Amino acid sequence: MAFGTDNLTGSRRGGKSPGAFRTISEVSNDLEVPPHVLRFWETKFPQIKPLKRGGGRRYYRPEDVALLRQIRQLLYNDGYTIKGVQRLIKEGALKNTAQLGVATAMEPDQQQQPQNSTTGSREKAALRSIVDELQSLRKLVSTVLDK
């Protein structure tokens, strides 16, 4: 039974195009988060709208996967709270990457810069700078509070 599951997953990963819909288990494996976390994020971020088929089986669009990848990055790596990420989405800070869909749904090492993306690159650089500054401030506040 385990052999069949591994074989099926392996053939899907190798055979699906970047624009193909993904199951919750595929997205869960790609993002390294449990499926229940993805279902929870669906309740907190209405922008994530997987197609639901018979029996409630979810199929994530490339745009959903791209947004989930950003949400994971912001929550797990950049230190944002759910409310903080919701605010970023509301303010449109994540819109550009979600619109790229297929390109952002690929693995990070497979991504290519979209044509004429100087504005997007500048915005990303500015956001990275802000995140770095906020993380520095967080460390400083933590140091002061620990004394």
CATH of the domain at 105: 1.10.1660.10
The total of structural domains in the chain comes to 2
63 and 129, same structural domain? no
91 and 21, same structural domain? yes
133 and 66, same structural domain? no
pTM, rounded to two decimals: 0.56
Q: Yes or no: say if 98 and 122 are a contact pair by the CB < 8 Å rule.
A: no
122 and 137, same structural domain? yes
104 by Cβ neighbours in 10 Å (0-12 / 13-18 / 19+) ranks as buried
94 and 36, same structural domain? yes
Nearest CA to 5 out of 35, 25, 21 is that of: 25
137 and 105, same structural domain? no
Tell me the per-residue pLDDT of 87-100, one tens digit each, with 9 for 90 and over: 998 888 875 444 44
Nearest CA to 77 out of 144, 122, 32, 47 is that of: 32
Nearest CA to 47 out of 107, 99, 117 is that of: 99
**How many whole angstroms from its chain centre is CA 20?**
16
73 and 12, same structural domain? yes
CA distance 64 to 90: 16
13 and 37, same structural domain? yes
Tell me the per-residue pLDDT of 36-93, one tens digit each, with 9 for 90 and over: 999 999 999 999 999 988 888 999 999 999 999 999 999 999 999 999 999 998 888 8
Which residue is listed with tokens 């922008």? 47
138 and 93, same structural domain? no
Dihedral-angle region of residue 26 (phi above 0 means left; psi in -120 to 50 means alpha; beta otherwise): alpha
75 and 123, same structural domain? no
Q: Which amino acid is at 144?
A: V
Query: Could you tell me the residue range of the domain that residue 77 belongs to?
Result: 2-112
126 and 95, same structural domain? no
135 and 95, same structural domain? no
